[in-house]
Amino acid sequence: MTRKCFSVREFQAKARQNMPRMVFDALDGATGNETASRRNTTAFEDVCLQGRVLVNVEDRSLKTRFLEKEWQMPFGVAPMGMGNLFWPGADQVLARAARDRGFPLGVSTMSSTSLEEVLDQSDGNAWFQLYAGESDALTQGLVSRAAQAGYRTLILTADVPALAPRRRDQHNGFTVPFRLKPKQLIDFCLHPRWSLTTLMRGIPKPRNISVQEGREPSSSETGFRREAGRGRFDWRFLSELRSQWPNQLVLKGVMSPEDAKMAADAGVDAVYVSNHGGRQLDSAPAAISVLPKVREALGPDFPLIFDSGVRSGEDIARALASGADFVMVGRPALYALGAGGSSGFDALLQLLINELSTVMAQLGCRYTHELNERVRVW
């Protein structure tokens, strides 16, 4: 990294410089006019926290017990597909960091490294995220693989019944599997570090699935089409998955109190409030504005995860004070990798830890659970 970054925005700007435009836009973009993505981040500015003074906060701890395990911090890295495309070796960097720093890493169905390899490299600090495919055989196969590999937590993503178009990707001709095209050659030449390293390692592709393009797979095939609709999956599917999956089950993409309550009644172990980072529905409300309502519907003790729009340690504190038990960070992790590789991610992680710890001191909190118990949200 040529210079130190002091905010996620600075990591984002540096990543923009280092990545080819097509690749950066695939990470940074969202659906529609990208209003929901911006709304997610700006809505945090309206969340004001009122703490207490004259509290001894000299010794503070970020350790957090969640889903039957103690983590070194109350946040992890959200599942994001094709990580190695955004920076060569990104999946391995994140897995090793999860192992060494003690946070959970979300592993996407669309990961560019196999779910087994990531779990092994993270020393078990990984949660597998499931996209149900058109093929029942593919879906069952992924669930079985995750169980056999030793995953303790399965995250079912429910907010992609259809893949929303992203205009930047459309203009750039971005596809999965990723293909280098002649019109992007100049841009790739202007980013030699990314281009040469990617070519030496091989063009990343999804490693958990076989991607099919341009045709309908038969019911017996296990191909996965990224653009395919998943609208047939409903509460019955969740119930069946609950009966099949022996470990912790999380429902991701919940944005209504009613759905949160139904998920709890269906037997999930945690609800995950998220609007997919604003990448699916441009008219979606900011996820942070929905979070307190979901917490109220679930009651004080039901495990609740949050992502979408988190850009600082103070945002993590805002989410915890608003009702989340645990927070997942998405795009910023890949911005940091794009800005400076493994050292960039290490710098981001330390930045978030330091910011969160400082905010806790300002609010009179020694432990992360006190953010929800003692801090008033305005």
- Which residue from 263, 323, 259, 330 is spatially nearest to 292, judged by alpha carbons? 323
| CA 10 to mean position of chain CA atoms | 20
Burial class of residue 99 (count of CB atoms within 10 Å of its CB; 0-12, 13-18, 19+): middle
CA dist., res. 39 & res. 140, Å (int): 36
CA dist., res. 198 & res. 179, Å (int): 12
Task: Kindly report the number of other CB atoms within 10 A of residue 214's CB atom.
Answer: 6
- Which residue from 143, 125, 134 is spatially nearest to 240, judged by alpha carbons? 143
Question: What are the two backbone dihedrals, phi and then psi, of residue 210, each rounded to the nearest 5 degrees?
Answer: -105, 115
Sign of the C-alpha dihedral computed for residues 287, 292, 297 and 303 taken in this order: positive
| CA 321 to mean position of chain CA atoms | 20
Query: What are the residue ranges of helices labelled H in the chain?
Result: 8-18, 21-28, 35-43, 83-86, 90-101, 115-121, 136-149, 167-172, 185-189, 192-201, 235-244, 257-265, 287-298, 313-321, 331-363, 370-374
CA dist., res. 119 & res. 106, Å (int): 10
CA dist., res. 269 & res. 242, Å (int): 10
CA dist., res. 332 & res. 40, Å (int): 14
DSSP annotation string for 246-259 = -SEEEEEEE-SHHH
Stretch (H or E) spanning 223: strand 223-224
Find the catalytic residue in 171, 191, 276, 369.
276
276 catalytic? Reply is yes
Residues serving a catalytic function are 276
